[in-house]
Amino acid sequence: MNVNDIPVIAIDGPSASGKGTVAQRVAGKLGFHYLDSGALYRLVALAGMRSRVDLADEKVLSDIAARLDVVFVDAEILLGNVNVTDAIRVEACGNVASKVAAYPQVRTALLERQRAFRQLPGLVADGRDMGSVVFPDAILKIFLTASAEARAQRRYKQLMEKGIDANISTLLQDIRERDARDSSRGVAPLRQGVDTRLLDTTSLDIEQAVDSVLKQYAECAKGHL
């Protein structure tokens, strides 16, 4: 079987839209593999910060991206044998990741690593450019979003549940700034492609969003038989 025949569901969208949770659950229901591509950009950011490199140096960061010694074990992420599952989720790391992700050489260095996740019986990949760049032949492409206010509320709730102190207006401001940066960069900007279906989850819960993706996938898969 050709690797390009392995089905991919691409779920792109802005920060805190819930796409990670939805993508993971869809993968679980279908028994598919799951790629959290944002984690890779967060890992490059964390590795860069920990080794105190100049975060404006694209070449150094792309070398880090090419050499990332990362292992995904279930829900845990190990970077050079250190468990960084929680460390990559802090807001500061997300902000640096968004800057690092604007470098074309970093994006190129991560391309093959992302494509290697395409394995039988299928893959659900979430990020910003899954449908446009990494898996342009994905069988289903979803742009999953929600209003900035709804996303700030969700992020706030998530952080509170983890016992991390947060301020809702700072979160909203961060989300707006990150959206602007991710959407306006020259390479692989965040935007809904013409072949991508919009899923606005502002007034949907997770189960409803998951059901919608599964239903759309079933229709696409039928069309491919």
Of 176 and 221, the one with the shorter C-beta distance to ligand DC is 176
Tokens of 197: 């279906």
**Is residue 127 involved in binding ligand DC (CB under 6 A)?**
yes
Smallest separation (angstroms) from ligand DC to the CB of 59: 18
- Give CA–CA dist 145/105, Å, rounded: 27
Of 33 and 128, the one with the shorter C-beta distance to ligand DC is 128
Q: How would you classify residue 197: left for phi > 0, otherwise alpha for psi between -120 and 50, otherwise beta?
A: beta
Of 30 and 93, the one with the shorter C-beta distance to ligand DC is 93
Task: Tell me the window of 95-103, 137-145, 153-161, 169-177 that interacts with ligand DC (CB under 6 A).
Answer: 95-103
Task: Tell me the window of 23-31, 78-86, 121-129, 213-221 that interacts with ligand DC (CB under 6 A).
Answer: 121-129
Q: Which of 129, 156, 159, 210 binds ligand DC (CB under 6 A)?
A: 129
- Give CA–CA dist 55/101, Å, rounded: 11
Smallest separation (angstroms) from ligand DC to the CB of 203: 22
Q: Which of 38, 48, 122, 131 binds ligand DC (CB under 6 A)?
A: 38
**Is residue 118 involved in binding ligand DC (CB under 6 A)?**
no
Residues in touch with ligand DC (CB under 6 A): 15, 37-38, 41-42, 94, 97-98, 101, 127-129, 178, 182
